[in-house]
């Protein structure tokens, strides 16, 4: 089997039969050429379980897990094609463990300076508001931001808060989390409570505490 020739045929198949984009074709070409480069550097140049396992190990030494998964997907698709066309009798990648755990990425944090900028912008919007509606929205936005930063609750939890969930007399918020688990959060910042009180006074509606109006 002339693997270089088979890759050329496969890429044409992807382009004209599967109608893949030029960007996808280019990515496939790069990934498969990389496999060929590794293959010709080995004493055993057959496409086998051993050579594929070695290639995977080399990829892990050079690239993050997400990139390795993409390159292996390209190789797997090519070998599956060769198997379907009966160019390969046995597809060795089926015997190779290609699933692995990607490292969990920690959530990104917002700097204190960025938080201050957001709160200052919300305050400025309130000062510039010239209609009852725009004043109401400005009060809501600032109250939402201050509640988020002061309590650390999830955005989804914040948006689903009901008026009955917030008690500003004792500064507590009741949250129904996953699995219907209830927890109480104490608001320890007086300025946040004052901001919530100002917003609550302007809120002439009931049910949801933070109305999703724009």
Q: What is the pLDDT of residues 171-202, one digit of tens each?
A: 888 887 776 788 898 888 888 888 888 888 87
* Confidence tier at 116 by pLDDT (50, 70, 90): confident
Mean pLDDT (the chain, rounded): 85
Taking the C-alpha atoms of 137, 141, 147 and 150 in order, what is their torsion angle to the nearest 10 degrees?
-140
Closest among 78, 61, 73 to 1, alpha carbons compared: 78
Q: What is the pLDDT of residue 27?
A: 94
Q: How many C-beta neighbours within 10 Å does residue 159 have?
A: 13
């Amino acid at each position: 089997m002339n693997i270089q020739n088979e890759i050329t045929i496969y890429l044409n198949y992807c382009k004209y039969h599967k109608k893949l984009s030029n960007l996808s074709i280019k990515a496939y070409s790069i990934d498969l050429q990389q496999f060929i480069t590794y293959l010709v550097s080995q004493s055993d140049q057959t496409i086998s379980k051993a050579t594929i396992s070695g290639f995977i190990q080399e990829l892990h030494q050079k690239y993050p897990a997400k990139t390795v998964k993409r390159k292996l997907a390209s190789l797997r698709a090519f070998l599956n094609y060769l198997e379907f066309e009966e160019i390969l009798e046995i597809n060795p990648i089926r015997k190779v463990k290609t699933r692995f755990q990607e490292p969990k990425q920690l959530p990104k944090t917002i700097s204190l300076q960025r938080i201050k900028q957001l709160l200052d912008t919300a305050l400025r919007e309130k000062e510039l508001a010239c209609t009852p509606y725009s004043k109401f929205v400005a009060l809501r936005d600032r109250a939402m931001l201050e509640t988020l930063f002061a309590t650390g609750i999830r955005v989804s939890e914040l948006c689903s808060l009901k008026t009955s969930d917030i008690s500003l007399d004792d500064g507590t918020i009741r949250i129904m989390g996953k699995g219907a688990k209830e927890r109480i959060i104490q608001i320890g910042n007086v300025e946040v409570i004052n901001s919530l009180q100002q917003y609550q006074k302007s809120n002439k509606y009931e049910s949801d505490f933070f109305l999703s109006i724009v």
